[in-house]
Amino acid sequence: MKKLYDDSELVPVRPRRRGIYLLPNLFTTAALFAGFYAIVQAMNGHFERSAIAIFVAMIFDGLDGRIARLTHTQSAFGAEYDSLSDMVSFGVAPALVVYEWALKGLGKLGWVAAFIYCAAAALRLARFNTQMDVIDKRYFQGLPSPAAAALIAGLVWLMLDFEVRGGDVRLLAWLVTVFAGLTMISNIPFYSFKDLNFRKSVPFVALLVFLLVFVLLTSAPAKVLFTIFLIYALSGYALWFWRLRKSEHDSGEST
């Protein structure tokens, strides 16, 4: 019989959970459905619905893990299911949406760009799963797949908000798609916000900034969301450049 206690320190050893928990996996399923819905709507030519569905998938994807931790229902099944859901919602769905919206008219260049993004999302998720226990929790290695998907969905939604057709901005869509894909599999560091503690008190200015962003988000969601995720996608390169300059400066001082 397997011991549940360590004889030397009498510390209880928790067996690895292999069960299937309903509540967190319901949110994962909702994220998966939102990604599937985005694909279906893109095939029907409703690209604004597709873009919104990808952002909805981001919300559910952010909730499932937190709910699992709060209810102590983490499991190996949930982790694998979440990765497969992310591949559909943030890998396949954005690639097909941007292809149907703008890249389709570029022929081979169009589907190659969409495939680069889709393959990069798969590689990004696989690398994240294998390096989860060895990387710095404060930073992501490469652009997270939800942020990359939000960048593409935000571009589609923003152009539709300005009544710009995808065929008129094919080059821009191609560049953003390839940029998002290559950035996902890069070693560029991106701040993860995992060390923020929302239980602690915050300055009054921070509350005002949050309220301002909320008001802008409700009044012009397409513009605000695309701006936020574009800044985040560029912030990694700014952080990488700052670290590079800092290391060069430190090595120069030591010399």
Flag whether 8 is in a domain.
no
Q: What pLDDT, on the 0 to 100 scale, is given for residue 201? A: 65
The single residue listed with the structure tokens 């696989």 is 126
Flag whether 246 is in a domain.
yes
CATH of the domain at 245: 1.20.120.1760
**Class of residue 248 by CB neighbours under 10 A (exposed 0-12, middle 13-18, buried 19+):** exposed
Flag whether 127 is in a domain.
yes
Q: What pLDDT, on the 0 to 100 scale, is given for residue 147? A: 97
Digitized pLDDT (tens) for each residue of the chain, 255 residues in all: 444 444 444 444 344 455 567 888 999 999 999 999 999 999 999 999 999 999 999 999 999 888 888 888 888 888 899 999 999 999 999 999 999 999 999 999 999 999 999 999 999 999 988 877 666 778 899 999 999 999 999 999 999 999 999 999 999 999 999 999 999 999 999 998 876 666 666 676 767 877 888 888 888 999 999 999 999 999 999 999 998 888 877 776 666
Flag whether 255 is in a domain.
no
Flag whether 203 is in a domain.
yes
CA–CA separation, 232 and 237 (whole Å): 9
Q: What is the DSSP string of 33-53?
A: HHHHHHHHHHHTT-HHHHHHH
How many domains are there within the chain?
1
In the chain, count H helices and then E strands: 9, 2
Nearest to 89 by CA among 127, 48, 58, 125: 58
**Contact partners, residue 248, CB within 8 Å, separation at least 6:** none
Flag whether 12 is in a domain.
no
pTM equals: 0.86
DSSP state at residue 90: I
- Domain of residue 147, residue span: 22-250
Flag whether 150 is in a domain.
yes
Flag whether 4 is in a domain.
no
